[in-house]
Amino acid sequence: MNREEAWKLLCEWTESDSLRKHMLAVEAAMRAYARRFGEDEEKWGITGLLHDMDYEKHPTPEEHPMVGVRELERRGYPEDVLHAIKGHADYLGVPRDTLMSKTLYAVDELCGFITAVALMRPNGLEGLKAKSVRKKMKQKSFAAGVDREDIVRGAEELGVNLDEHIEFVAAAMRERAPELGLQSRPD
């Protein structure tokens, strides 16, 4: 399992630039939490990077994420990685009973929502605070596809304060802002 091979695999399965950027954002958040928790940063990062690799071609609950999981299994990825990827999809009913699976679930929707907020700001991720994100969460029409309950539940399951979680994930994404297309834009 190495990052270069994981990126190549992701690019074979996913052409969408926005979906690739989402997976890069989740990778950044997973790596940051792995450092915080003293876990394997490479393994956690790759898990975040590949969690939606099949989504573009197999977006239905009948297929996602199991098509991708079967491919990763065929390639010899570790069981804890597969378990975390299965756990990020509520509808599979796979228990999130490991720190890695709880973290992936906690950062997935939040990364998407933070991205949506940052895209609306001229400063992108720079200076983004939890208060701004929480305010946007109250607007049902904003980023309507993002499940706010998943964001709240994810922080609860992980045992972290929601505001701290939002700021931690935003900071992790900020480290990769240019790659994510979320840096400050000149006027």
Question: Could you write out the three-class secondary structure of 36-64?
Answer: HHCCCHHHHHHHHHHCCCCCCCCCCCCCC
User: Is residue 88 within 8 Å of 101, Cβ to Cβ?
Assistant: yes
pLDDT attached to residue 100: 98
Tokens of 26: 């989740």
pLDDT of residue 113: 97
What is the pLDDT, as a whole number, of residue 168? Answer: 98
Give the separation between CA 40 and CA 84, rounded to whole angstroms: 14
Fold observed for domain 3-178: Hypothetical protein af1432 (1.10.3210)
Q: What per-residue confidence (pLDDT) applies to 44?
A: 98
- The domain segmentation of the chain, as residue ranges, is 3-178
d(CA 116, CA 114): 5
**What does each of the 187 residues of the chain score in pLDDT, given as a tens digit?**
899 999 999 999 999 999 999 999 999 999 999 999 999 999 999 999 999 999 999 999 999 999 999 999 999 999 999 999 999 999 999 999 999 999 999 999 999 999 999 999 999 999 999 999 999 999 999 999 999 999 999 999 999 999 999 999 999 999 999 999 999 876 5
What is the Cα–Cα distance from 134 to 96, expressed in whole angstroms? 25
How confident is the model at residue 187, as a pLDDT?
A: 59
What pTM value is reported for the model?
Answer: 0.96
